[in-house]
A and B are shown apart, each in its own frame.
Chain A
Amino acid sequence: MAGSALRRLMAEYKQLTLDPPEGIVAGPISEDNFFEWEALIAGPEGTCFEGGVFPARLVFPPDYPLSPPKMKFTCDMFHPNIFADGRVCISILHAPGDDPMGYELSAERWSPVQSVEKILLSVVSMLAEPNDESGANVDAAIMWRERREEFNSIARRLVRKTLGLPQ
């Protein structure tokens, strides 16, 4: 019998493969290492990210699901809640106790009840509705708030870039 973290990740992988949520594909990069996953997230319809497919990488700690995984987009992203290096900043990925932004409710934090699927769904909704109060990328947050048109055009350019289309 393998470790509990591994078993849980295997169970989640199976679940995600059998019954994938719309617009999300995720799985381990290699079957030898279940602790590093790659995910593809489709930009939500009706938003400036529509049509894009954004690759991200999830790294799970050895004590998953007691601690949350880390998530990082591997493509260029311009979004109020994504750091310039691609790290995603949403409360569900923060363990209760540490509060990098100083305002998150503990009810929104990580708990073993959460799962990869829920994380990715939260990321999709984060793409659709940025939270401009948590400034992982302050420039993006200001632009989102004040110059929406400019933000949208940058987002559309990124969408084309992820698809490998001429810009």
Chain B
Amino acid sequence: MQLLISSVCMALTSAVIGYAYYQKQQFYPAVVYITKSNASMGVIYIQFFVIVLMFAKLLRKIFLGTLRAAEFEHLLERFWYALTETCLAFTVFRDDFNPRFVALFTVLLFLKSFHWLAEERVDFMERSPVLGWLFHIRVGSLLTMLGILDYVLLMHAYNSTLVRGPTVQLVFGFEYAILLTVIASTAIKYVLHAAEMRTDTPWENKAVFLLYTELVIGLIKVVLYILFVVIMAKIYALPMFVFRPMFFTIRNFRKALNDVIMSRRAIRNMNTLYPDATPEELRQSDNICIICREDMVNHSKKLPCGHIFHTTCLRSWFQRQQTCPTCRLNILRTPAVNSTAMPRAADDAAAAGAAAAPGNAAPAAAGAQPAAAAPVAVAPGGDANQGRGNNPLPPSFAELFGDTNGLPNLAGMMTPPPPVMPMLPPFMMPPQLVYFTPPPLPPPPMPQDLTKFTIEELRAMEGHQREQIEQRLKLLRNINLMLDSAGIMMSQYQSLAASLQLNSVPATTAAAAAAAPASAPSSDVAPGSSAAYDKPSTSAMARAQLEEEAAAHQVNATAAAAVEKVTIEDLGADEDDVPSTATETVSLVSTSEADFDENSSELGELRKRRLKFLEERNKSSTSAE
């Protein structure tokens, strides 16, 4: 087809020239004849365009090789837009309309097309698996050539404007200035991509550099466009033909600005709110960043929900959305305290939760495989919590915790879910139902390390160094965790007992004494809220029950504290001051458990206070030693 057109053109041109020469027999009269005849000039013009097109093809072959289908499509699309804009520009400069002017515009369009192609090629660098030397030579020489041409033409336009005042050269000067910025940004991108390709590890800051490049180039372009519009509006008329590109430039600039802001925010959040994942945590998880599917060796962050990702992967995701990619926990709404107060013991449970979450979060996605996936995913947590293995969490569980109180870790590490469940939706569950499906109540996750303390672990805890203090703190946190779970279990016992409407007080108190910490203060602090758990029908009964219990528990509380004290001493915590701490901790924990459902911020506050208290105590004890 193209061959046919060009050969027809060739034939026509040679016919015109041959005919003129045959008529006039001499060179000069023949030229005069051709320029005088409109038909002949038309043929010559068409021939000119065909030659330009062939030249373009030749250059393309040299510098770009064959175009990909997408490249060709984009080129064609942009070309037509540019052509219409050029026609619009002609209307402004209708007085200067002459062949030279058309030729200049043709050259401009010609250069523009190569700029677009160079841009596409460089953007494609990141996506192509193999790039040879030929590619680099081609892109390098193309960029250099285009840059030099742009510069020369810009200077020419500038000089001619200075000499002859504002003419159509103003438009060309402006267009080449814009093209220069395009070349600059393409060259920067090329250098960045090429630099990344040379290294074997992913270059983490490349995305940030790219963002800032976009921003700066966008700013320059916007300024250029505005200047041009103002100047043109003053001298000629409002330049309609730049409105479309100007609009897109401004939009891109806004997007770049937005991206930079979001990215900065994400980086700041990550640096301040989330801790780096320790090598130990990485070893415990499967060590693969689920965003890029690559190993996490360094620079990974742990979110409040316990999921670990590459810092850079997280940054680029947070630019779009402030949620955990795995469990969709809104990270901005979650108090940062959780991440620091998170006990180590919870890690494997949280990891198990992480593995289980994809299945829960996207039931549609896992539709075909949930039966197979769920048990496998939960399995890692099985040894930590005996109840977990056969009771995979219902989907709503994680969401409930994640959304309302920002306590996913609590949810993950607490006693097995079955006892928690009847307590969670107390409003929907009539007491009778609880009676018919008595939840299995396994013992709280008992301190496995109590008996299996190795010499190293013991040694790790004595001494005044930072590591030792950390070890002790960690242990205290574990104890804390157990107390928390005991508290939750206690409140379940209580609601169960209330719903069963047991009349014998001793039985209830016995049950309560077994895991006393939570019940006493919880009934002290919030009898109303506990009563509200039950339906109105039973609330009167329950309140009476609770009051009885409250009286009994006041007596029992001290005993419970004593029990706790023994535990803590056995665990090898500091000897001095223990009773007071134990009681303090217990009361704090239980209070927090009582308010647990109502006010998560209060809970956070309490946790903070507790942590501070523990730290202070540790400090004072080490200084005493």
Contact = CB atoms under 8 A, between A and B. Distances in A.
Interface in A1-54: 1-8, 10-12, 15, 21, 31-35
A31 B320 CA distance: 30
Contacts of A4: 202, 292, 313
A113 B366 contact: no
A118 B366 contact: yes
A89 interface: no
Interface of A: 1-8, 10-12, 15, 21, 31-35, 62-63, 65-66, 90-92, 95-97, 106-108, 111-114, 118-119, 121-122, 124-125, 129
A149 B316 CA distance: 48
Given A34-B127, A34-B129, A62-B123, A92 B196 contact: no
Contact of A121 (B127, B128, B316, B367): B367
Return the 10 tightest CB-CB contacts between A and B, nearest first. A3-B126, A125-B367, A112-B291, A11-B293, A121-B368, A118-B365, A111-B325, A112-B325, A125-B368, A113-B325
B364 interface: yes
Interface residues of B, number: 40
Contacts of B366: 118, 121
A132 to B, nearest CB: 15
A6 B129 contact: yes
Contacts of B317: 66, 112
Contact of A8 (B292, B320, B328, B362): B292
B236 to A, nearest CB: 40
Contacts of B197: 1-2
A6 to B, nearest CB: 5
Contact of B365 (A5, A21, A33, A92): A92
B369 A1 contact: no
| Interface core residue of A3, A31, A96, A121 (most chain B CB under 10 Å) | A3
Contacts of A125: 364, 367-368
Nearest to B197: A1
Contacts of A90: 364
A49 B127 CA distance: 36
Contacts of A3: 125-127, 193, 196
A111 B290 CA distance: 10
Contacts of A12: 293
B326 A113 contact: yes
Given A3-B125, A112-B317, A118-B362, 7 more contacts: A4-B202, A33-B128, A62-B127, A92-B364, A97-B320, A112-B291, A129-B367
A91 B365 CA distance: 9
Contacts of A31: 129
A29 to B, nearest CB: 11
Interface in B320-348: 320-321, 323, 325-326, 328
B112 to A, nearest CB: 23
A114 B365 CA distance: 8
B348 to A, nearest CB: 20
Nearest to B360: A107
Contacts of B367: 121-122, 125, 129
Contacts of B504: none
Contacts of B399: 107
Contacts of A129: 367
